[in-house]
Structure 1
Amino acid sequence: MKSFKRYTLNFATALLLIIFVLPGTVRAQAVQRIAAIVNDELITEYDLESRIKLVIMSTGLSNTKEVRQRISGQILRTLVDERLQMQEAKRRNISVSKRDMRRAKEMIEKQNQLPKNALNRMLQENAVPLAAMEDRLRAGIAWSKLLARRLRPRITVGEDEIDETLQRIKSRQGQTEYRLAEILLAVDRPDEEENIRRTAQRIRKQVQDGANFAAIARQFSQSATAAVGGDLGWMHEAELSNELKTIVPNLKHGTVSPPVKTVTGYRLLLLLDRRKIGETTGKPVVIDLRQIFLPFPRAATRRDIENQTDLAKTITLSATGCRDFDMLAREVKSPRSPSLGRLSLRDLSPEIQLAVRDVPAGKTTDPIKLTDGVLVLMVCSREGGKGQIKLPERDAIADKLVQRRLSLMARRYLRDIRLSAVIDIRI
């Protein structure tokens, strides 16, 4: 298992990826109208407008009045949540140092392939306030530290859980799995549900119109996967909920599902890819085939057909290898050459493919009845086939299980904080 320290660093790093490389200016000094009050702390309309600029730049949304109005509600909710996270972190004596901020900015530059110290300049050039990005960064760092300190120690993953996961992966060879990305919009109170559903529909429309799904997920999604653009990785068909089992298989590559109601809110799913487990690493099946053909006489009677079929059955029981098979072909005077050579399975006719698909090397097929005779095939060698599933490391499985539980616990934690807070939305 990874140490607590190592996991904490990894989790904090993941949350930092929520931040995008975006523009900025100096915060205005003038008194601003109030957008919301969170436990006596103000969020001004200037704060909201600054974050809207950040989101538009990062997601590729059109910078129109209509788009700004559509996203302002969800962005304000995000600002409220960040303020609550910062307040809770302060209450728990968690702080964000200048070193934390410097390392976070360096990480953003590295992730976005920017030169060193280029972030501030890029923000200024794009006319987005620097404080908008720094506030987002500071909240992400503080919240990750808080979760690592208060929630992570409560989570344990047993060796039996890892063994069960590995066994489940092994048993899924050849079955379908999907690579999905998600945006999760949580519903904390019944009176929020309709508004959240409409927000999910608007986000779907924006993605269909060309907005960046991953960027929107980083900004709006309330799942731990927000840190990686909503990427859920590969999911087996059995892992899908009953609702998703009817939706995901019908998605086309690169398309987004309608909003799907879950116990925690609404989800949008993007299909990135699909595959058969283990087959992506496999080579085409190539087999060395031999044949014995027993023709029917002209105007064959039922008895003639039965005799040739019985002979074919005797051959399948008698043949013990390719050399023996060639001798049997001469003895029964098969009119066709015994050797068919090395053939790709996918190049054979569907009937022959079905007959030889599962026959191991050194064994014969059952008699194959054709219109003009009976055919027996011997598989002399077999190469290629399905690849072996590359099993994940045990630590990787443990980390994934931990993150799933931590994500659920974090959403509950924030929900409880929100429910106990005094929040006054002014716009």
Structure 2
Amino acid sequence: MVKNRIRVVNGLGRILACAALATLGTSGIAQTVPDQADAPATNLDIPQNLQIFGKFDPNVRKPTAIVNGTVITGTDVDQRVALIAVANNVPDITDEERQRLKIQVLRQLIDETLEIQEAKAADITITPDEITQSYAGVARKFNRTVPEMAKYLRASGSSDRSLKRQIEGELAWQRYLRKRVNPFVNVGDEEVNAIIDRLQQAKGTEEYNLHELYLAANDTNRQPKFDAARQIIQELQKGQQPFEALARQFSDASTKSVGGDLGWVRLATLPQQLADAAQQMQVGQVVGPVETAGGFSILYLTDKRQVLTADARDAKLNLKQLTIRFPAGTSQADASARAAEFAKTVQTIQGCGSVGKIAATINAEVVDNDTVRIRDLPPPLQEILLKMQVGQATPPFGSAAEGVRALVLCGRDDPRGGEAPRPDQIKDQLEQQRVNLRAQGKLRDLRRDAVIEYR
């Protein structure tokens, strides 16, 4: 049963700040089971009615570790937590959330340390110049200079050292995979041709780009897990954390490492409860908790399409954006009044040729963009722009803090008929998936062989 349907819409342009802060890897394989799902055979001799001697509480441990001789300090953990908050635009984190995030970050830092150590063992070195160059690229994504970026990170509770450490880890692991894994991954022409044949047979079939946050539950903890799922939905309703960040923190599925991303899936591949829920969803919508045999799922539909069929949302738009900003301290009433006046003015626009003149009368900023795909805009704007004619303007949108905007449609390039991906594209994707699987296996081996001392 689907309960508590809500719609969660991110603001225009609300995305992760930079690719360097994202987790390595491609979209996860559709999966709705936890990493350590119950199995009849575990190869472990564990009694059914066991007794725990002593107490174990991982929260008591200070977030400090020594990994094969490399020290991870509490400061390292705190600064990486702050870095994640900056990347995900989450200004406020509760003490409970911060504690959970610290434990997760410590695990990530341990993995990062193991990856750097393994790369060095393979004679792979990331030079300071390479790290500096990547760091400067991240700063540009934040619209800041390198000195400004360092100051910004310090003000946020993080540091340039923390970001550079993450950059080093990502570069080292990528280079290690290219040297030690990629050469041994092969994809045959028969596999590629078989995929092309299946795509042609599935032409017109609907696919859904879903994210899932899965909470495993059993008969003894089903109600607490359901309550936890309800609390997560409440956090999503606040709009302070993106779905992907919460999935990384709380999901029990292996896709948590990619923010719960299941990739493009067809309903037939999903459990029936999830398929029924997804079929009723609109793009940008979150539903849940959806009860399954093994627990509860929260689903987020980011996109949908038909296989090898042209989609109107792939149309590229030529837009002009008008923006008016409010002085600091503007009350909500004054902002609403100005927004209403802005809305009346925008409706007088007669084609993009008149935008500059009208913008001057209301002191509005004008920005041009002629490469925007409809599907890359927030879902509410997608629905409006799909129905608009050239020369028309959207209703105003925004906030008192960020200003009010409107988009004027100046032109539209409709997509061509759906075409199958090229054989080389399919081959590259298959190779990348296999590299990722082998990388996960290698990281498991490194964890198993590591000497880790907690302090």
TM tier relative to shorter chain: 0.5 to 0.7
1:255 aligns with 2:259: no
Contact 1:35–1:44 (Cα < 8 Å) also in 2: yes
- Aligned equivalents of 2:232 and 2:431: distance in 1? 29
Displacement of 1:57 in angstroms is: 2.1
Provide the rounded CA distance (Å) in 2 between the counterparts of 1:267 and 1:37: 36
Trace 1:343-422 onto structure 2 (pairs within 5 A): 388-422=417-451
C-alpha contact (below 8 Å) 2:277/2:287 kept by paired residues: no
In 1, Cα distance between the equivalents of 2:78 and 2:310? 49
Query: Is the Cα contact below 8 Å between 2:104 and 2:249 reproduced in 1?
Result: no
Using the alignment, how far apart are the partners of 2:89 and 2:306 within structure 1? 33
Contact in 1 for aligned 2:64/2:74 (Cα 8 Å): yes
Unpaired runs of 5+ in structure 2? 1-17, 25-61, 216-221, 314-414
Report the Cα distance in structure 2 between the residues aligned to 1:101 and 1:259, rounded to whole angstroms: 44
* Pick aligned residue for 1:152 from 182, 185, 202: 182
Q: Distance in 2 between matches of 1:425 and 1:259?
A: 38
Q: Which residue number in structure 2 is paired with residue 171 of structure 1?
A: 201
Name the residue aligned to 2:94: 64
Distance 1:135 1:219 in 2: 21
Distance 1:240 1:54 in 2: 35
Gaps of 5+ in 1: 1-13, 21-32, 186-193, 283-385
Aligned in 2, Cα 1:404/1:163: closer, same or farther, shift over 3 Å? same
Aligned residues of 2:64 and 2:72 also touching (Cα < 8 A):
yes
Note if contact 1:183-1:226 (Cα within 8 Å) is conserved in structure 2: no
> What is the match of residue 124 of structure 2?
94
Distance 1:223 1:239 in 2: 17
What do the CA deviations read for 1:24-71 (whole angstroms, capped 9, x no partner)? xxxxxxxxx761222232211111111111122222442332221121
1:40 maps to 2:69:
yes
> How many Å apart are 1:17 and its aligned residue?
5.3
The one-letter code sitting in structure 1 at the alignment partner of 2:22 is I
Contact 1:58 1:215 in 2 (8 A): no
SS at match of 1:255: strand
Opposite residue 137 of structure 1, the aligned amino acid is: I
1:274: which partner in 2?
304
Summarize the Cα distance change of 1:251–1:281 in structure 2 as closer, same or farther, 3 Å threshold: closer
Secondary structure in 2 matching 1:173? coil
Is the Cα contact below 8 Å between 2:187 and 2:427 reproduced in 1?
yes
Deviations 1:75-131 (A, max 9, x none): 111111111111211222211112221231233234444457643343244342221
Q: Which amino acid aligns with 2:194?
A: E
CA distance in 2, matches of 1:410, 1:183: 23
Question: Are the equivalent residues in 2 in contact too, given 1:37–1:43 (CA < 8 A)?
Answer: yes
Correspondences of 1:63-212 after superposition (within 5 Å): 63-114=93-144, 118-181=148-211, 206-210=235-239, 211-212=241-242
Cα offset, 1:416, TM superposition: 1.0
Taking a change above 3 Å as real, the CA distance of residues 423 and 249 of structure 1, as seen in their structure-2 partners, is farther
- Contact kept in structure 1, 2:79 and 2:157, CA below 8 Å: no
Q: Secondary structure at the match of 1:272?
A: strand
Change (3 A) 1:34 1:168: closer
Counterpart of 2:170, as a letter, is: G
- In 2, the alpha carbon distance for the partners of 1:260 and 1:107 equals 43
* CA shift for structure 1 position 280: 2.4
Aligned residues: 286
Q: 2:82 aligns with which of 45, 53, 56?
A: 53
Using structure 2 for the length normalisation, give the TM-score: 0.52
Match of 1:290 in 2: none
Q: Percent identity?
A: 31
Q: TM-score, normalised by structure 1?
A: 0.55
Check conservation: 2:81, 2:102, Cα contact below 8 A.
Answer: yes
Distance 1:53 1:86 in 2: 22
Q: Which has the higher helix share?
A: 1
The 1:179/1:111 distance shift into structure 2, 3 A limit, reads farther
How far residue 244 of structure 1 moved from its aligned partner, in angstroms, is 5.4
AA in 1 matched with 2:87: S
Residues 15 and 144 in structure 1, CA contact (< 8 A), matched pair in contact too? no
Who is 1:351 aligned against?
A: none
> Is residue 78–residue 220 contact of structure 1 (8 Å, CA) maintained in 2?
no
> Kindly tell me: are residues 96 and 398 of structure 1, through their superposed partners in 2, closer, same or farther at Cα, counting changes over 3 Å?
same
Deviation at 1:390, TM superposition (A): 2.1
Matched-pair contact (CA < 8 Å) for 1:75–1:220: no
Q: In structure 2, the residue corresponding to 1:389 is in which secondary structure?
A: coil
For residues 286-323 of structure 1, the C-alpha deviation after alignment (integer angstroms, 9 at most, x for no partner) is xxxxxxxxxxxxxxxxxxxxxxxxxxxxxxxxxxxxxx
- Structure with max Cα Rg: 1
RMSD of aligned residue pairs (Cα, Å): 4.4
Q: Which has the higher contact order (CA 8 A, sep 6+)?
A: 2
Equivalent residue for 1:18? 22
